Chain A
C-alpha cells in the first residue's frame, strides 16, 4: 500500500522552515540563557557555601565507611549477628520513641484546636471582617515560617528543658500550617448551605457549626493526620535542642561515636515513621472512602 504524502511547493516550504528554525532558535537561546544564569548562581553559591570538592573526595571514603562503622558492633562483628547486643537499649529507646509520638500527638492536637478556632477568621468567605482576616493570616504565616526547632530553642529557655518545650513548638508550627490548609478548604466550600442557614436568622457561630463544619470536617481530619505524620519526624529531632523525645539519645550517640547505637536508633525511627505513614494513610483512605459513599 502506498501512502501519498503531500509535499508543499518549495517556496512555501522555505518560509515555513524559516519560521520553524526561528522558533526553535529562540527556544534554544532562552534555554541556554537560563542554564547560564543557573550555572552562575550555582558557582556563586558554591563559593558562598565553601564547597570544597577536594574535601569531599578525600573524605568521601569516610561517608561510606561511616555506614560500615555504624553497622559494626564494638567487638568487630556485624550488628545483625547479635541482635540483642545491637538493640541493648530497646526498652529505653521504645519508651523515648513513645514519648516522641506523644509529643507529636499532643502538639498536633493543640495546633489543630488553635488552627480550628482561627481558620474561619482567615477564610475569605467566612471571615467577619477584612482587618481581622489580615491579622489572623499574618499571624499564621509567622507561625509556620519560623522553623519549629527555633521555637523549641526559645521555649527550652522559657519553659525549661523537657518535652513541654517540644510540644509547644510543634503546636505553634502546626497552628500556622494547619490554619492555612484549613482555611483553604473552607474557601472551597459550597456557600448555598451557609445562605440557607443564615436565611433562618442564625448567628455567625451557628452558620459555621451547621453549614460549614459538616462540609469541611473530613478534609480537616485528613490534613491533621498528615500533619501528625510530619510532626513525628519533626519531634524525633526536637531532642537535639533538649526538647524531649528520642533525639536526645540520638545526638548523644552520634557525638560520642557510639556507632551501633546510631544505626539502632535510626532504624527504630525509620520503622516508626513507616508504620505511622502507612497507618495514617489507611485511616485517611477510610475517612475519604466514607465521605464518598455518604
Chain B
C-alpha cells in the first residue's frame, strides 16, 4: 500500500501566505460580526418580552388551539365562506388589472430608453418608490376612509400598492428590451409612437403579462389579509372567527385559502408558460 507523502507545510506556508497569515482585522471580522448580530438578537429577545415561561405557556395554548382546530368544519356558514372566497379572488383580479392598466403608461415615463432626461425620470421613480413603501394594509385603511367598508376599498388598495410595484417592474422590463428593433422602426420612418408600439411593445408585453399573472397569484394572498382591517373578502371572516375563537371554522377558512392559492398558482403558471413559452420567467 502506498502512503501519501506528508504534506509539506513549510512550502505551503510559503506559497499561500494570504491563507495562513491573514491580517488580524480579516480574521476578527467574521466572529465580531456574528457576535454583534448575536448581541442585538439577545437584546431584542429581552426587550420584546420573551421569556421561557411565556414561551411555554404560549406553546401550551397553541397546542390546545391546534387540537381544537381538528377537524376543520364550516358548520352552516359554507355558502357565506364560498361567497367571501369569490370576493377575495375578484379583489385580486380586479386590483391587479387596474394597477397594470394604469402602470403601463407611467412605466414608460420611468424607463431610461424612453425618457433619457434624468430630471423627468427622477420624480416619477421616487413617486413609485413612495407608493411601494406603504404597505397594502395601510392603503386599505386609507381607502376605507374614502369609499367605506367593503371589498371595493380592497380593490383600490391592491390597485394602488401594485401600481407602485408594476411601475418599477415594467420600466425595468422596458429598459431591458433590445434597442435594435426600435432603431429598425425609426430607420423605416416610424415616429416615436410607432417605435413604442411596434419596436418595444412586442418585446415587452410577454414579460409584462408574466409579471401580471405572477402578481395575481401573490395578490390572492394579499387580498386574504386586507379583510382583516375591513376591506372585504375572506380575511374579514377569518379575523372574525379568530376573535370569537371558533377554531374549527378558522382551520376550515385557512384550508380553503390554501386550496385557492394553490389553484390560482397552478392556473397562472400554466398561462405564463402559454404566453412566454418554456423560457425562464423573468
Contact = CB atoms under 8 A, between A and B. Distances in A.
Interface of A: 38, 41-42, 44-52, 55-56, 59-60, 62-63, 66, 99, 102-103, 105-106, 109, 142, 145-147, 149-150, 153-155, 157-160, 162-164, 167, 233-234, 236-237, 240-241, 244, 250-251, 254, 266, 269-270, 273-274
Given A142-B258, A147-B224, A164-B50, A254 B141 contact: yes
A49 B151 contact: yes
A109 B37 contact: yes
| Interface of chain B, main secondary structure | helix
A146 B58 contact: no
Given A45-B94, A159-B58, A102 B148 contact: no
A42 B155 CA distance: 12
B99 interface: no
B245 interface: yes
B177 to A, nearest CB: 20
22 contacts: A45-B91, A48-B151, A49-B155, A50-B150, A50-B151, A51-B152, A52-B147, A62-B145, A99-B48, A103-B44, A106-B44, A109-B37, A109-B41, A146-B254, A149-B225, A150-B228, A153-B242, A154-B242, A157-B61, A159-B62, A160-B54, A250-B138
Contact of B65 (A41, A51, A158, A162): A158
B94 A66 contact: no
B135 A237 contact: yes
Contacts of A145: 221, 257-258, 261-262
Interface residues of B, number: 62
A103 B48 CA distance: 8
Given A159-B54, A270-B134, 10 more contacts: A42-B93, A45-B89, A45-B90, A49-B91, A50-B152, A55-B147, A147-B224, A154-B250, A164-B50, A266-B138
A244 B225 contact: no
A234 B224 CA distance: 15
A150 B254 contact: yes
A111 B228 CA distance: 24
Can you list the 9 inter-chain pairs with the closest CB atoms, starting with the nearest? A48-B90, A159-B58, A45-B90, A106-B44, A270-B133, A49-B90, A158-B61, A163-B48, A49-B151
B94 A51 contact: yes
B130 interface: yes
Contact of B49 (A142, A162, A251, A266): A162
A46 B90 contact: yes
A47 B93 CA distance: 12
A254 B159 CA distance: 20
Contacts of A48: 86-87, 89-90, 151
Contacts of B242: 150, 153-154, 157
A145 B261 CA distance: 8
Contacts of A49: 87, 90-91, 94, 151-152, 154-155, 232
Given A51-B94, A62-B146, A273 B133 contact: yes
Contact of A274 (B50, B86, B133, B254): B133
Contacts of B47: 99, 102
B93 A45 contact: yes
B58 A160 contact: yes
Contact of A164 (B49, B145, B232): B49
B145 A237 contact: no
A158 B66 CA distance: 11
B166 interface: no
B44 A42 contact: no
B205 to A, nearest CB: 10
B178 interface: no
A162 B47 CA distance: 11
Contacts of A157: 61, 65, 242, 245
Contact of A50 (B37, B49, B232, B245): B232
